[in-house]
């Protein structure tokens, strides 16, 4: 029996960087009434609040867990606030090396990288065609993740001390070495004393190279979704 359901956000619960649809928020809230729910994403906590949490009327019932920046942080609602159980920021030396490496590999001057980078403290996210590109352009840019794979392979010998994984539609997420979604989910399950086999993970990037893929190594029930409509169907099945 599933004791917790863990969701990716972008392209699983919402369109890329977009607000959750009312129908999805309603289903997620119903699920939260029956079982603990966790959200894990490359997004910051502020983005998770904007995209999902503020649209769930029961989000502060103590059964919702947020793991922003690919699990480099974990937060839950306690004593009237979303409090962090842990937080692992990227070091300054790794940040400088990453920016220099990205500039060399992509050809974008360091002074212009701000158009492509979100520095979230515990994670740095590079967006291949810019943070503010339209959804249409994002979905068309790298559907097979081959472009991002090439960037990661070119960066690997230039940058140390960071984990790298493609996420969303155009993003590469950089966290401290060893921190990925498997790390975050493992910490969450230990915190709740739940065995991996008792947890269900739902995400769109479970294929090799996707930032959801590491969770498969934990032995959780990993379910790939290919659309928001499919995610809604999976939630309905879990509620029954």
- The span from the CA of 85 to the CA of 171, in Å, is 26
Give whole-number Cα distances, 178 to 137, 163, 165, in Å: 31, 6, 11
Q: What is the pLDDT of residues 184-208, one digit of tens each?
A: 999 999 999 999 999 999 999 998 8
Residue bearing the bigger pLDDT, 103 or 210: 103
Q: Residue 169: which pLDDT band, with cuts at 50, 70 and 90?
A: confident
Question: Is 51 within 8 Å of 20 (Cβ atoms)?
Answer: yes
Confidence of residue 17 (pLDDT cuts 50, 70, 90): confident
In whole numbers, what is the pLDDT of the chain averaged over residues?
Answer: 94
pLDDT of 30 higher than 90: yes
pLDDT, tens only, 127-137: 999 988 998 99
In tens, the pLDDT along 47-57 reads: 999 999 999 99
Model pLDDT, residue 1: 81
* pLDDT tier at 81, thresholds 50, 70, 90: very high
**What gap in Å lies between CA 77 and CA 206, rounded to an integer?**
28
Residue 6's pLDDT band (cuts 50, 70, 90): very high
Model confidence over 206-223: pLDDT tens digits?
988 788 999 999 999 999
Question: How much is the pLDDT for 76?
Answer: 96
Buried b / exposed e over 73-108, threshold 16 CB at 10 Å, is bbbbbeeeebeeeeebbbeeebbebbbebbeebbeb
* Domain edges within the chain: 4-87+179-239, 92-176
Task: List the CATH code of the domain at 92-176.
Answer: 3.30.1240.20
CATH number listed for the domain at residues 4-87+179-239: 3.40.50.1000
CA distances from 62 to 76, 158, 183 (A): 7, 42, 22
Instruction: Tell me the C-alpha distance between 199 and 152, whole Å.
Output: 30
Q: What is the pLDDT of residue 45?
A: 95
């Amino acid at each position: 029996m599933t004791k917790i359901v863990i969701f990716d956000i972008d392209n699983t619960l919402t369109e890329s960087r977009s607000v959750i649809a009312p129908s999805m928020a309603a289903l997620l809230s119903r699920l939260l009434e029956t079982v603990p729910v966790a959200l894990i994403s490359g997004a910051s906590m502020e983005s998770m609040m904007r995209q999902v949490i503020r649209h769930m009327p029961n989000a502060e019932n103590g059964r919702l867990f947020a793991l922003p920046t690919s699990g480099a942080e974990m937060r839950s609602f306690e004593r009237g606030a979303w409090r962090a159980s842990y937080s692992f920021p990227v070091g300054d030396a790794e940040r400088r090396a990453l920016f220099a490496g990205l500039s060399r590999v992509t050809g974008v001057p360091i002074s212009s990288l701000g158009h492509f980078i979100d520095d979230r403290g515990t994670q740095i996210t590079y967006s291949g065609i810019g943070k503010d590109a339209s959804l249409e352009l994002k979905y068309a840019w790298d559907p097979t993740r081959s472009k991002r794979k090439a960037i990661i392979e070119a960066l690997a010998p230039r940058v140390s001390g960071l984990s790298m994984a493609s996420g969303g539609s155009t993003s590469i997420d950089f966290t401290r070495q060893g921190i990925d979604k498997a790390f975050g989910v493992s910490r969450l399950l230990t915190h709740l004393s739940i065995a991996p086999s008792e947890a269900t993970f739902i995400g769109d990037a479970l294929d090799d190279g996707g930032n959801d893929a590491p969770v498969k190594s934990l032995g959780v029930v990993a379910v790939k979704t290919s659309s928001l409509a499919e995610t809604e169907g999976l939630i309905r099945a879990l509620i029954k």
